[in-house]
Amino acid sequence: MSTMEMNLNYIVDEVVKRLKCDVEDEGILVEASGRHVHLSKDDVEVLFGKGYKLTKKRELSQPGQYLCEEKVTLIGPKGTIHNVSVLGPEREETQVELSKTDAVAIGAKAPVKMSGDIEKSGSVVLSSGNAVLKLDKGVIAAKRHIHITPEDAKRYNVSNNEEVNIKVIGERGVIFTNVAVRVSDKFNTVVHLDYDEANACGFTKGMKAVIVK
């Protein structure tokens, strides 16, 4: 190989490396979302007592959302999951978000749905230790999605309710299809995967993904 060819190969390799770094720097932060429960005001009172208010533990990445001190137990036909986190603030309707693995473990139905869509969803029993609550619906496996600001939506050329593919960057990089885009000026831009999906791509904190259209 001539000196000129060696220099050309070196230049090409450097350009590829820098482009890869640029892509990683420009990627969207990925978060892994574990099993959790959103409670309505009425169901908070059923589980914890009349007039009870959820106790904020720490803020989450999305503005106004927070992890609570309170935890509940999920009881299904085939098993139980203890110490499931409650997220605030209260919602209009109670919703339980599980991975498919969690759902199989307790024998619950958990169809893949967008958060807030609980029609024809699964049922489960919630226990706070002092009270129990049977949910006839509300159990879902959250559809993987991107929370994105209007500015970033314009930057990445995506629109609300669009579905895209994302490539998660890492040692076990994976391309996920059917990723829902949710645009709002109330969001911070971040990809949300459940723990099954996070395990599939070898999730580590700070991992990023790029949109593949």
From first to last of its 213 residues, the chain has per-residue pLDDT tens of 565 555 555 555 554 454 444 444 579 999 999 999 999 999 999 999 999 999 999 999 999 999 999 999 999 999 999 999 999 999 999 999 999 999 999 999 999 999 999 999 999 999 999 999 999 999 999 999 999 999 999 999 999 999 999 999 999 999 999 999 999 999 999 999 999 999 999 999 999 999 997
CATH code 3.40.50.1100 for 27-31+144-212: no
The one-character DSSP state at 77 is S
- Among residues 184, 167, 70, the alpha carbon closest in space to that of 116 is found at 184
In degrees rounded to 5, what are phi and psi of residue 136?
A: -80, -20
pTM: 0.85
- Residue intervals of the chain classified under CATH 2.40.40.20 are 27-31+144-212
The pLDDT of residue 61 is 96
